[in-house]
Each structure stands twice: as C-alpha cells, then as structure tokens.
Amino acid sequence: MMTESNSEMDMQRKRFRPEIEGLRIVAALLVAIYHIWMQRVSGGVDVFFLVSGFLITASLLSKVRKDGTVNFFDFILGLAKRLFPAAFTVLLTVIITSYFILPETQWTQTIKEVFASIFYYENWQLALSNTNYLDQTNEKSPVQHFWAMSIQGQFYVIWFFIIMAALWTSQKLKREIKKTLFVILTLLTVASFGYSIYLTEVNQPWAYFDTRTRVWEFALGGLLFLFITRIKLPALMSGLAGWLGLIALVSCGLLLDVGGRFPGYVALWPVVAAILVLSAGENPTRFGVEKFLGSRPMRKLGGYSYGLYLWHWPIVAFYYAVMNTKEIPVIHGILIILVSFVLSWIVTNVVEKPIRSIKGKKNYRPKVAAALLIMAIPVFIANTVWSSSIKENIAESTMASAQDFPGAMAVENDMDIFYDRNTPLLPNPTNLESDVANTYEIGCHHEDGQQDLPVCEYGDLENPKYEVILVGGSHVVPWLGTLETFAEEENIKIYNITKISCRFNGEGVGEEMSPDCRRWNQMAKEKVIELQADLIIVNTDVGTPTVPEVEPERVELYRELETHGIEIFGIRNNPRPLFDMNLCANPKNIDHEECVISAEEYVPQPSKWSKVENKPSNVTEYDYSEYFCPDGSCPAIIGKRIVYFDGFHMSNSYAESLGPFVKEDLVEKLESMEK
C-alpha cells in the first residue's frame, strides 16, 4: 500500500458534521410537505443523493485509510443494518394494510412494487411501467417512494467498486487515491449530468427514475468531500452562503417547473443549495445556518428523517384510499407527519437500534445476517402468498363464460347494468392493468427516438379479403381488441400503426403530446398512403370536454388522405374522464359523486365531427357513445365488465364486447365500397 501525505490522510478522515443531520430532516420534511399538500417535487430527494455521495465517500475512504482496503461483505452488512430494519417493517405493514384498505384494482401494482422495493429496483419498475411520478391523476402505490431508496441502494454498491477501482489504479500508478478518484468522479459527473439533461428533454418520466440520470448528484457529493476542507470562506460570505442555500432549498419546489423539467439541469438548484449549506458548515460563523441545523433539536429530529421519509407516503396513500380524495386538509396533514415521526421513533428504537448494536462481538456477522433475514423473510412470504391468491382469482374469472359478462350487449338488450361489491367482474379488478390490447405486449408502439416505424399485423394474414389500418394514439389502440373478435372470421387483415401519447392529426399537436409525435405523424401518413388499404380506422376527435372542437390539423390530414383515394372509418372517441375512473371500478364507490359523469358533458350531441364545416367526403363517423353512456351517464362498469383499464383508456374486455356492433358497421362499409 502506497503512503499518502499527512494532509491527504487528514482530508480523507471521516468526522461527524452535525449540520448534516439538520439538513436531512429539512429535506425529509420538504418531501413530506410537498407530497401531502402540494403534490409536487420539492428537491429534497436530490439533497439526500448529494449527502449520501458525500458521506459514503467519506466512509469508504476512511476504511481505506485505516485498513488499506474495504471488505465488501462487511460494507454491505453495515449498509443493511442501517437500511433494512425500517424498510422491511414499512413494507410488511404496507402489505397487510393494503389488503384491507386498497381497492382490488391497485393490488397487482402494489405487489409488483413491493417485490421491486425488497430487491431495490423500484425505480426501474416504475420506469418500465410508464409511471409518471408527477402525474396527480396516477394511482400511486403505497411504496412508490421506494424508487429513491432503490437508486440509493444501487449507488452504494456501485460506489464500492468505484472506490476499489480508484484504489487499484492509484496503487498501480503510484499516485494519491484522491487524484485518481477526482478524475473518476469528474468524468461520472459530466457524463451523468449530460445524460440527465438529454433524457429529461426526450423522455422526462423515464429520466426521473433512471439511475444514470442521478449518478452525478452522488458523484458531486463525493467531489465535495474531497475538496471541502479547501473551501475557505470569509465569515460574512459563509453566513450568507449557508442561509441562501437553505432558503433556496425550501423554495425550490415553489419557484421551479418541477413537473416537466426534473431531473435535468433544474436539479442543480437543490444540489447547489445543499453544497452551499455544507460549505458554510465547513466555515462556521456565530450566526451561520450550521448553528441552526446542527442544534440539538435538529440533530435529534435528523435521526428520524429516514423513518419519516419511509412512513409518510404509505400513510398518504392509505388516506387517499379511505377518504376517496386527493386533497388533505392542513390538520390531517400535520397529523400524518406527527404519526410518521412516532412510527419512525418506534421502529428506530425498538427494531433498528438492537440490530445495529450487534457489532464488535465474536461471530457477529452471522447474528446480523440472521436478524436481517428474520425481518426480510416474512415480507417476501406475505407478498408471495398475496400474489398467489390473486393469480387464483384471475384464473377463476378467465374460466367463466363470456355470456356471464355481457358488457356493451347489456346496453343493447336493455339489461340491468347495476352492480354491487359482490358482483363478479371482467376483468378481475386485480388484473385490470393487464387488460390491454395485444400491441402493449409485443412492442408495436413507436417509441420516442425510434428511427423506424413499427407496423404490426393481425387478423387474417394468409388470404385476406379486406385490409384495414388502425392508426393513431393510445385511444385508438383498444379498438384492436374489438376488431380482433371478428377479423379472421370476416377475412380482414389489420395493420397496427400506433404511438402512445400522440394524436394522428398530421402535425402531432395537442396537450401532453409525445416530443417525437410530429415525426411519427409524418412517417405514419406516408405508410398509410403506401399501403393503400381498403379503409383506415381512426378517432375523429379527442374525448375530453377540455378539447371542445376537432383540431383543424386533423381535418386537413383527412382531406389530404382524400386526395390519395383513402377512405376513413372514423370512430368517435370514448369519453375521457378528467379524473381516474379506476376509483369507480371499485364497487364500494358505486355511489361516489365523481363516478356519475354526465353524457351531456363528455359525449354531447351532435358530435364534434358533425359540427365540422366542409368535412372531407372520405370520412364516415361511427358513434358508439350509447354503449359508454347509457341513460345519460357514463359508468365505470357496464354489463359486469370494467370499461376503463387505467382510468380513461378502454379495457380490452369491454372493447371485445363492442365487437358485434363494430363488425356490422365495418363489414357493411367494406362491402359497400366493392359496389
């Protein structure tokens, strides 16, 4: 082992910094406050990442200085002692409470995310499930906040290998480890920060959960540790910097567009704010922020910041489920924070401290491992048993006859569509999120940045009599399930050309459209013209009251297609509620006031397309609104079938029940074109 200078050794020496405890509780409280009352990102998690990078770099270098290396198993066991007891206690509590409180429509999602949280890949689970953490209409699971813990856990493992790589390289080159580590962390910071800016622009929901977009925050914390002792500030500047950092941190979520810009370059705001606070702590003054953050009360509260973060969100999620609301009164929010503190105190003192105290004794490693396993195994078993019971229920519901679930046919035959909490439903509510068209399973949708245009084929592929193209965004996709019920029987070949979060209107314009929507529109239009199918099937409008008219761009696109002799089978969009209709798919909410939405508001007559002046003659609109909104209202369950699989997109089960009605219209249209 090479010898380092005394100053280098001193620089790497780990020491307690009381202001960090205060900074932690401020960050945790910001997360909780913004979650409870503002439903926005606060920047508090970014502070945790920076501080984690600072502290773990200090800890690992301290071990290197003391022992010349770091034992991987001791390192992981030490982390597990700090992280697992509280985390597993929360997860077990969530499993039990979710079974009794959450609607069945959220069970499958919760089970998947509990497994992901146990094994520290929750961030990737959320990214892959296209979860938008900032979408207030999204039904968030009680463990969704574990995404940050997952990134942190992944980071700790990565950091061990980074430190060891720096140690090995410094020994080979006979240079100080600080210099080698500086180069590595600088490269990581630049690469990760650049990637974060890029991905946030291209796909912000994914960027939010991607570990690679967050590495720069940890790396910057490590760089800060390497050089913080060299930061010398005059007393006045240090005092101002510290308080400015704290004020900037508290105001971050209020002043910045966190909804659409995080993490990206905007995350610099809370990160730099934390750097200012830590730099001020290195240069203490009489009235500096470090005196407040490092005070005894703040240090005491800081010891429970981890627990506060873990407990507050499940309580919020259960509050939403029990109260059927998305708003929390001030008093209730304060109680949630207080209860979170109490639970954190109990778990810290009753569960965590006894396990953490197992050290320095003979055979302590097996004892610690056994204690952690005793906590982990019940969580895994409980979640597995819950998952197995759901699979059995799903299997039973899929074996039932489709005649027992008439769906849209109940409207046609004037059947009673009333249901209660004992009514069997299709799909089984626990399997609702998987009740989607086949295109979601095999990657038929165009992704942002994808150069080619995916075109999938369904129906009669061998000897089709007719060819149709289903083209558009996520609201046209469910109609594939409708078409598939009769396509082979009627010798119809279906081309699927779709892109989620993108309207087929020629320009890709509209609220919440995908960044790559315009380019996809051009490719899709060219492909439609090239294929020259008998019909293209599209939506003629947007099914929400907030878009009261058909976009002019859509009309112009259909008119352009007319010049190429392309006939259009236009389907009026299904009603798109302005809230999550999965709330109403839970039978216990049958009388909830939000679950009775007006047909007059969502599918007024005449249709939006009917009111377009000088309509292109190649478009025939078909309005199936009566099957979504019988008797003047638009329920979430019709004929024992759940209408929406995610709140406002039609479920595959209900789409299939519309088959007989669409079949009659489509076949008649195709046959009329032969004459």
Bridge partners of residue 538, in order along the sequence: 570
Which pLDDT does position 1 carry in this prediction? 34
Phi-psi bin for 43: left (phi > 0), alpha (psi -120 to 50), beta?
Answer: left
Confidence of residue 138 (pLDDT cuts 50, 70, 90): low
Tell me which amino acid residue 45 is.
Answer: V
- Please give the share of the chain, as a percent, with pLDDT higher than 90: 65
**460-500 pLDDT tens trace:** 999 999 999 999 999 999 999 999 999 999 999 999 999 98
Q: Which two tokens stand for residue 258?
A: 């966190």
Distance CA 122, CA 312 (A): 17
Torsion-angle region of 577 (φ positive above 0: left; ψ -120 to 50: alpha; else: beta): beta
In this model, does residue 92 exceed pLDDT 90? Answer: yes
What is the SS3 assignment for 491-507?
A: CEEEEEEECCCCCCCCC
- DSSP 8-state symbol, 38: I
Q: Are the beta carbons of 332 and 338 closer than 8 angstroms?
A: no
Contact 572, 607 (CB under 8 A): yes
Say what the alpha-carbon torsion angle 271, 276, 279, 281 is, to the nearest 10 degrees.
Answer: -110
Which residues have a Cβ under 8 Å from the Cβ of 253 and sit 6 or more positions away?
Answer: 30, 34, 38, 40, 41, 42, 43
Of 480, 411, 430, nearest to 649 by C-alpha is 480
- pLDDT computed for residue 137 by the predictor: 45
Contacts of 97 (CB under 8 A, 6+ apart): 142, 314, 318
Residue type, 103: P
Angle, CA 265 vertex, CA 259 and CA 269 arms, to 5° = 80
Give start and end residues of each alpha helix (H) in 34-71: 44-67
Rounded mean pLDDT, 367-394: 90
Give the burial string for 225-239 (b: 16+ CB within 10 Å, else e): bbebeeeebeeeebb
Nearest-angstrom CA–CA distance, 472 and 537:
9
The pair of structure tokens assigned to 131 is 């979860």
The pLDDT value recorded for residue 414 is 79
Look at residue 130 in the predicted model and tell me its pLDDT.
63
CB atoms within 10 A of CB 614: 7
Residue 594 and residue 489: Cα distance in Å, rounded?
A: 40
Model pLDDT, residue 634: 87
Q: Is a pLDDT exceeding 60 seen at residue 638?
A: yes
> Is the pLDDT score of 387 beyond 80?
yes
- Report the predicted TM-score, pTM, of the whole model to 2 decimal places: 0.81
638's enclosing H/E stretch is: strand 637-638
Q: Where are the alpha helices (DSSP H) in 485-550?
A: 517-531
Size (the chain), residues: 675
Q: Which CATH number fits domain 410-674: 3.40.50, 3.30.70, 3.30.950, 3.40.1350?
A: 3.40.50
Domain boundaries, the chain: 17-379, 410-674
Band of residue 358 on the pLDDT scale cut at 50, 70, 90 = confident
